[in-house]
Every structure is written in C-alpha cells, then in structure tokens.
Chains A and B, each alone.
Chain A
C-alpha cells in the first residue's frame, strides 16, 4: 500500500503549485491590506488632521453649497458678516480640551494705498503724457474708460504750463521734474486673525502684527493710529498701464493768448473744473496740435513681488520698468503724491451665489458691470465708511482712523504643501482656470466683485476686528482638539463630543478633519466653464469611509473568489478519487484503510505547500522583519485544512433529480452538471459584480474622496495594491472558469464522441455545448449584474453611464467566457471526441 497513490504525479504537482501560490498570495495580499489600513490611518492622522479639527461658525452659517454639495468655495472664510464675539472665542480658547482656537474675522476689501508712479522730467521740457489703464482676470482684458493725459509745457510757462485731463489727474501730477500719475486702484481682502493662535495653525510668525508704535510717515500721524498689517507676498496686481509720451512744441505768445482767451475767465483750471466740456474743446482745438507725434509707448505691469499694502511710491527706472521705491538700494522716486485716507472706505462683499441645478452642476450669474472697466461683477458690494474726515482730510476722531502699516509679508506659495493639506479658509492659492485651457489661469480683476474669492491679501490682528467690524466680528473659529496623537475612533469620538457641545450652544459646527480641496466645473456667465477649487469639509470621514468600504468590498470579494477556487479544487480532487475509493472498498479494503490512504496523499498535497509557504514567510520575516504575512499564512493554512476536512465529509455524490416537467435539453444538461459548474457560476457572478459595481463604487464613492487632495493622496498611496488585488481576483476567477470548462468538457468526452457517431457536425456539437455555457454563464453574469445594480442603487447613485458600462462589462465577461468555452471545447474535441475514437476493440 505504501507506494499506492490514487492521484497521479502530475495532478499532485499541479495542486501543490496552485496551493503554494494561493496561500502565499492570499497571505501576502491580506497582510498588505492590513498594512495599507494602518498606512491610511497614519496618513489621515498626518495629513488630514493636520492643523485643526473643528470649524465653529455663527448660527445658520451653512450656505446652499454646503447644504447641497458639502463643499465650500476656496477661501470661504475671507468673507463674512461676523456673528461671534471675542468672548465667544475666549470661551472656546479656554476650553480644557482645546489646543488651538484660531479666529477669523473678515475685515473687508480695501484699496491698496492710493499713490502715484512717477517718471523724471526735465522741468523745462514740453511733454505730453497719456496714461491708459487696463485690468485683466487672466482671460479677458478690460480697458478703463477714462484715459488720463497731461500737457506739460515746462516751468517756463508757469503757472499755465500744465493742462491735465481732470482735477484728479492734476492732484496727482506733481510737475516740475516729477511727472506723476495715479497707480491704478486694486482691491485686497483683509482678514483679522489672532497672531498667536494663527501662528500655531500655520507656522507663520505673525508676531509683527502685535508690534506697536510703528513709524510710517506716509500714514496719518506717522502711524500712531494705524494697524500693522502683513501682506500676502505673492499677489499679482491685475492691472497694466499704457504710458504714451510725446514731445510738445512750445507755444508762441500769441498761441498762449488764444488759449487763455478760449478758457473761461482766462483760467484753465477753473474751466476744467467748472466747464469741463469747454476745457476739453480748447485742449482738443488748440493744445493737442502742439504734439510733435514723436510718441513713445511704454507698457507697464506691476512687479510680481508687489505686495498690496506697500507704502512706498513707485517710479519708472531708466529701463522703463515700474519699480517700488527702495531707498536702501538707492531706488528712488523723485516725488509723487499719496493719500493718507486710502483705507477710509472699505467694501464688504457678499458671497457668490452659486446656482446649483438638478444635476448638481454649478453656475454663477453676472449681476452687473463695473462702470470704470466694464468688467463683469458677480456679487454684491457694499461700501463701508470706517471713519469720517473733516474738510482738510483729517479724521474727525483719531481713534476711528483705519490705515494699515505693512509690517512684513507672508507667503502662500512657499507653504503650499502645509496649507493645502489643511485648507484654512483664507490661504487657498488655487487659481481657477478655464476648463477649455488649463493654462488660462483666472484671478480677480482690479474690479471688486469677481466670482473668485481671493486668499487674504492682508492679515491684521483680531484685536482690531471689533473696532472695524463691530461687536461680533468673528466669522469662524478653527479649533484643534488637545491630546490627539492618532486619528482613531477615540479621537473621532472626542472631536464629535466637542463639536456637539458647541453645536448645543447654537453655533454652526463642522468636523473638518481632513478638509481638502477638490475641483469642480462652474459655468460662469460671461466667461465660460471654469474649473474652480472647493474645499470638502470633513474629507477624512469620506476618505476613511470610502477606504473602509473599498477595503471591505475588495476583501469580501477576494476571500469569496479564493474560497470558491479552493473549495472547487478540493471538491474536484476528492470527487475524482471517489470512484477509485469505491472500487477499493468493493475489493475488500476497509474504510479506515481507504481514509488512511486519502489522508496520506492529502498530507502531501496540503502539507507541502503549507510548509513551503510558512518557511518562505519565516525567511521573509527574518529578512524584512515583517511577520504579518507569516501569521496570516498560518490562518489561511488552517482555513484550507478545515475546508479539506469539511469537503471530505461532504456527500460528493451527484444527486439526480427527476423533474416533473420536462425541461429543455440545455436546462437538463445544466441541471445534471450543476455541481461541476457551480464554482464557475459563483466566480462569474463575483467577477461580474466586481466589474459592474466596483468601478462605479470607486468612481462615485471613492472618487468623492479622491477629488480631495487627501483622498487622492491616500488612494494614490494604495492604488497599486488594489490593482494587484483586482488582478488576482480576475485571474483566480478566470482560472476557475477555465478549469471548470475544461473539466466539464473532459467529463463529457463520451457525449461528444456519441454525437460524432450519431453524425452531428462539429459545429452543431459545439453549438449544443456553447448554448449551455451561454445559459449558465449568462444567468450567473446577469445575476451578478442585477445584484450590482441593486447594490449600486442602495449604496451609490446609478447613472446612465454606470448602467451602460455595467452592461458592457457584463457582456465582455460573457464574451470572454464564451471564447474560453470555444477554446477549451476545441481542445477537448481534438484530443477527446475525435482521437479517443481511435482505439481497437
């Protein structure tokens, strides 16, 4: 009995190889999944939790965008009417469970300092200057309606040497050796933060905001009443200036007399201010002719490093470049003009009203046009006068004065990584771009009311917020919970508990761990389709749940596929020897002896692969210090052993049922061979489910998370693993289907032979068998598809696309199965149906 084996060597070798492969790959894959799980948790801790956990806002702060799409626009905290008091903030800050409580109070939109740029002029020279302003939103350029000009005939004609286009131009034009013109106005968002708490959140050193007694001779009372501000360093000022310079011919005495006669009361300025039309007629008729048409045109764009709240004057250097005065480096403006009350008037912007259609697509409507530039306006602007002045331009009350002294800058670009991983609502640097051209970046024009909410261009200390904005200036408090080192269930429940506490106080509270960015198309009237960044609040939740769901779905599918494969293999192996064992029994073998023979053979078939895999993982563990695959392989081995014993005890006899109703031949065949095709049916069902459900589950559920940076980071990290698992899933499924088909056809060689004897044509025989495959595989695939549709409708939203692609996927699987059937059938036909007939009797 020692040498007797019921399995042939080839079978034993094949099964041992297959088992080694399955035990090792399953163990390793599951260990990778476990590791990936830890990795995701760690990533969420590292990247999602990041700087803050909870966002507290005033009651009813949720916008429609949040309610419907759970997103907020980029830099959404830069706009707000306040609603929380400094006391509210202090209370939150003092909570024992709070590590950081960083308030944000949007102060409003301020113009940069009103000042001039100048170019040097020989006081005796007669020159014509024309200045045209334009602004751009990155895609369109908008020209200022009013072009400014100055005819300056030199000091020899003083005091009637200068003929400006308007009083405003005249007030900025210094004259003599300084030809100065207003630098175009731009608008900049100012936000109040607490320098200490904000510093902890962002890592910025914002202590310059706390400095006192800063000297700025450009400010009212040298800055005694001014507020230190830190400017955003990398703001592009969206204006351009076209400067035309021409020479003028000196007028003769007679000409001068003619001009003076033409002006009202012989006074050009009086005519300009009180009889503007007359003035311009005179200039057009008499003075403009003095231009010598030797014009030079200079296009000026502000330096990119030009921060919004710089005080210094601007000048044109010898290369016609616009420069900011920097006397330390001997870059000097010879003069100019500036306003001390530039920040007397501010603007409060209303949030952009996003229209959300039935398909949850976003659009923004234009609500008006800017009078100066004809640029579109997308939101309401409210003008706010922060303090009143007397006729001389002095504040009525010094304490009310609002003016900013730039005391340092902060940079978003340099800190993109940190800030983007934890969007803080005022530092978003993502520029929207045209959907049709990703290089066409959009930015707000010089006109207030852009649909783009900019990052904070200036930060001031929160202590000034009350004075500027009123009693409850705070728009939001970003809270980092104390004592959390790992983002786990415990941490989550603590965060939830705190959130609930503040929610009970009436605030709008969101858990924002993992708040992250995603891009959505927005149809902007007058512009077209724009890709805009939005922040998903609480992306960590989505990422965790999507990860969990994906992991669960994949693990279940994977385990099912593997188990089906193993059970099928074991069942076949044990069934195959049943006949031989029955024969041995008839020949007088005891059941015990037969069992012993079976167990001996199986101890090799199962024992050897288990031994090899365990040894392999021990070596792997010693080499990499990674023991998880080893432990999982022990579990898998035990499962395989249990499966063997369970199947061994199963009644493997094929039960034949006499049906009352006679079915079609195909159905009778399927019924008869159901045990042989069951594994394939299961695998096809699972594969179809996998194909029809998983991609859309990933698309609609996981992609929700991957739209965010955190999600895409995490899913990107583990993408490779999923690809491996999915490939394994398909491979195991297809191997099972292939084996099933081969096995069933081999079993049915006598049938094939008989059909041949009966004179059936090869293609008729093939059609006969393929019809069966078509029915059982089709049913399995159809069921898989139906189940996937049902599950999809329960878990995610079904779209026409998912429906159609699901059908295509199912058809593809059916097609592959059908091809496999043809291939295996042809193989069996060639080696069985025909050749097996070649035997003598």
Chain B
C-alpha cells in the first residue's frame, strides 16, 4: 500500500501550551517498502503512526493511503480501512490478558467471520511466527518476544497491506529483537508495506527507507536505500 503524506501538521493543545508535534511532514512510501522512522521521545513518532492509521486527523496537509485521502473518508470508512488493510504492533504488545494466545490472534476477525475459519487462520499465523505450541497459553505465561510474535500474528490476521509498528522491539532483548525483525522482514518480503518507529538505530538497516523525526517535529530524510522516492 502506498503512503503519501503531504505537508502534514499536527498540534496538541495542552492546558499550558500548544505543542506542534508534526511539522510539514512530506513523504511517500511505495507499496511493499519498509519505512523506518527514528527520533527522540516526544518527537511525534507514535502520533505520526496514529495519523497514518487514521486514528487521528491531521490539522493540515493530507495523508493518502493506497490512493484514498484519509481526510475525505468518513469515520466508518476510516475504521474499515484500518480493519481491512492495516495491522498494528505496539511496544507493550497490548494483548488481552484474559485471552489465550490463539484468541488474542483471532480477535480482529471475530466480529466478521465464523469462529472456525478465524481459528484456522490464527493457527496458520501462529505457525508462521513460531508459536503453534503456545496457542493455549495466557499472555502472562509468555516471554516478551513471544508476546510480540503473538501481536504480529494478530496484526496479520486481516491480511493487511500495511503494518504499523510502534517500537515493536522496545521491550525485548537482542535475541528476541532479531527474531521479531526477521519475521517482519519475511512479511515485508511478501509485499506488505511496513512503517516502523523506533529508538533503536540498529534496526534501520532492516528498512528500505529511513526518516528521522527531530525533537521539534520536523522530518529529516536520513538516507535512501533500494531506490526511494523522496
């Protein structure tokens, strides 16, 4: 899925001040590319992901996902876009503590498809992330890496064209980090666009593109690998 951001600005108004989180962000990610975004805490990385995923609206500028201008979409259309085309992976995994691994993975499709079908796909995905022996485990019984792999499996449930990863390895040790990145790489190689925000500069090499958000919310294009459109 192609991502186009044109002069995107986003400001948060707090009680004491106005924070300009994103300033004139402008870039394009082609379908199947992997964009790495780094930046310090508070630079607006997560906000950028939330804007791309249509969870938040921008103050100005436009975001075009797969040819659809998000600003022109209704709430329901944005929700549908998110559900059908976007997968989300968080630093803190955001698994449902009350559900086992299999159920957690099944969650995105449960409202729309028969449970047996969903379960079958969830199992396939758990096999893909190497957790087929953990499907009956509760999240608290998993390691950090396993939790994140569960989250990846969940993000893949809807066959997304875009996966947004918010510090997916932030809570993991080096071994687990590499494992997760390898899985994501495999997913990317299947044509899924990935946008990954991270502190960890070592991960940049996994991406096709790397942008850095400065402390004041501006985008710095750090480099182009594998043929990038600026």
Name which residue of chain A comes closest to B14, CB basis: A840
Task: Report if A837 contacts B (CB, 8 A).
Answer: yes
Q: Mark B91-108, 1 if CB is under 8 A from A, else 0.
A: 000101111101100011
Binds A, one of B25-33, B76-84, B125-133: B76-84
CB pair B98 A668 closer than 8 Å: yes
Stretch at the interface among B1-9, B49-57, B142-150, B172-180: B49-57
Q: Which of A83-124 contact B (CB under 8 A)?
A: none
Name which of A438-446, A457-465, A753-761 contacts chain B: A753-761
B19, B84, B97, B110: which contacts A665 (Cβ < 8 A)?
B110
Residues of A within 8 A of B63 (CB): none
**Of B50, B83, B111, B166, most A-chain CB atoms within 10 Å:** B111
Whose C-beta in chain B lies nearest to the C-beta of A768? Answer: B111
From A656, A669, A754, A760, contact of B94 by CB (8 A): A754
A645 interface residue (CB < 8 Å to B): no
Judge if A750 is at the interface, Cβ distance under 8 Å.
Answer: yes
Known: A658-B141, A668-B100, A751-B96. A841 touches B83 (CB 8 A): no
A-side contacts of B96, CB under 8 Å:
751, 754
In the complex, A709 Cα to B8 Cα: how many Å? 83
Using Cβ atoms and an 8 Å threshold, which residues of chain A touch B80?
759
B21 contacts the other chain (CB 8 A): yes
**A760-B106 Cα distance, complex, nearest whole Å:** 13
* Chain A CB within 10 A, most for which of B45, B50, B84: B50
Q: Nearest chain B CB to A668's CB is how many angstroms away?
A: 5
**B215 surroundings in chain A (CB, below 8 A):** none
Distance in angstroms from B211 CB to nearest chain A CB is 16
User: Does B12 sit at the interface, judged by CB under 8 A?
Assistant: yes
Set of chain A residues within 8 Å of B141, measured between Cβ atoms: 658
Contact A662 B56, beta carbon cutoff 8 Å: no
Q: Are A841 and B47 interface neighbours, CB within 8 A?
A: yes
Min CB distance A773 to B, Å, is 15
B contact face: mostly helix, strand, loop, or mixed = mixed
Find out whether the CB atom of A837 lies under 8 angstroms from the CB atom of B55: yes
Partner of A761 from B76, B107, B140 at Cβ < 8 Å: B76
Residue of A nearest to B83 (CB): A759
| A672-B82 contact in complex given A665-B110, A758-B108, A760-B111, C-beta closer than 8 Å | no
Chain A nearest CB: distance from B13 CB in Å?
Answer: 10
Residues of A within 8 A of B223 (CB): none
A631 within 8 A of B: no
Q: How far is the CA of A669 from the CA of B138 in the complex (A)?
A: 12
Question: A757 touching B19 by the CB < 8 A rule?
Answer: no
* A757 near B98: Cβ-Cβ < 8 Å: no
Contact: B99 with A759, CB < 8 Å? no
How far is A128 from B55 in the complex, measured between Cα atoms in Å?
Answer: 111
Report the separation of the CA atoms of residues A47 and B56 in the bound assembly, to the nearest whole angstrom.
76
Complex: chain A residue closest to B107, CB-CB: A758
Bound: A757/B138 CA distance, A: 22
Q: Is the CB of B98 within 8 A of A673?
A: yes
Q: Are A662 and B47 in contact (CB under 8 A)?
A: no
> A interface, how many residues as a size bin?
20 to 34
With the chains together, A838 CA to B12 CA distance in Å? 9
Q: Is the CB of B19 within 8 A of A671?
A: no
A-B contact count (CB 8 A): 80
A672 contact set on B, CB distance < 8 A: 97-99
* B residues near A839, Cβ cutoff 8 Å: 12
Answer whether residue A764 sits at the interface, using C-beta atoms and an 8 A cutoff. yes
Partner of A658, one of B41, B45, B79, B136: B136
Contacts of A668 in B (CB 8 A): 98-100, 103
Chain B residue at minimal CB-CB distance from A757: B88
The distance from the CB of A764 to the nearest CB of chain B, in whole angstroms, is 5
Alpha-carbon gap, A198 to B19, bound state (A)? 99
Q: Are A759 and B140 in contact (CB under 8 A)?
A: no
Q: Give Cα distance in the complex from A761 to B102, angstroms.
A: 22
Q: Is the CB of A656 within 8 A of B82?
A: no
Of B76, B84, B138, which is within 8 A of A656 by CB? B138
Give every chain A residue within 8 A of B45 (Cβ-Cβ): 841
A839 to B111, CA, bound (A): 28
Is B44 in the interface zone, CB < 8 Å from A? yes
Residue of B nearest to A669 (CB): B98
Q: B21 — which chain A residues lie within 8 A by C-beta?
A: 840
User: Which residue from chain A places its CB closest to the CB of B103 in the assembled complex?
Assistant: A665
Cβ-closest chain A residue relative to B217: A840
Report Cα–Cα, A838/B44, bound state, in Å: 12
A837 touches B98 (CB 8 A): no
| B79 contacts A761, C-beta separation under 8 Å | yes
Interface residues of A in 672-690 (CB under 8 A from B): 672-673
- A658-B138, A759-B83, A761-B76 known; A837 vs B99 contact (CB < 8 Å): no
B65 contacts across to A, CB distance below 8 A: none
Are B44 and A840 interface neighbours, CB within 8 A? yes
Are B55's CB and A756's CB within 8 A? Answer: yes
Report yes or no: A764 in contact with B98, Cβ–Cβ below 8 A: no
B188: Cβ under 8 A from any A Cβ: no
Instruction: Determine the chain A residues whose CB is within 8 A of the CB of B50 once the complex forms.
Output: 837
B46 touches A758 (CB 8 A): no
Q: Note all chain A residues with C-beta closer than 8 A to B12.
A: 838-840
| B102:A759 contact, CB within 8 angstroms | no
| Given A671-B98, A672-B98, 14 extra CB contacts under 8 A | A665-B103, A669-B98, A750-B94, A755-B107, A759-B83, A759-B158, A760-B83, A837-B50, A837-B55, A838-B12, A838-B56, A840-B46, A841-B41, A841-B166
A-B contact pairs, 29 of them (CB 8 A): A658-B136, A665-B99, A665-B107, A668-B100, A668-B103, A669-B99, A671-B98, A672-B97, A672-B99, A750-B94, A754-B96, A756-B79, A757-B53, A757-B82, A757-B88, A758-B83, A759-B80, A759-B82, A759-B83, A759-B84, A760-B111, A761-B76, A764-B111, A837-B55, A837-B56, A840-B21, A840-B44, A840-B47, A841-B42
Residues on B facing A (Cβ under 8 Å): 12, 19, 21, 41-42, 44-47, 50, 53, 55-56, 76, 79-84, 86, 88, 94, 96-100, 102-103, 107-108, 110-111, 136-138, 140-141, 158, 166
Among all A-B residue pairs, the 8 with the closest Cβ atoms: A759-B83, A841-B46, A672-B98, A759-B82, A764-B111, A758-B108, A759-B79, A840-B12
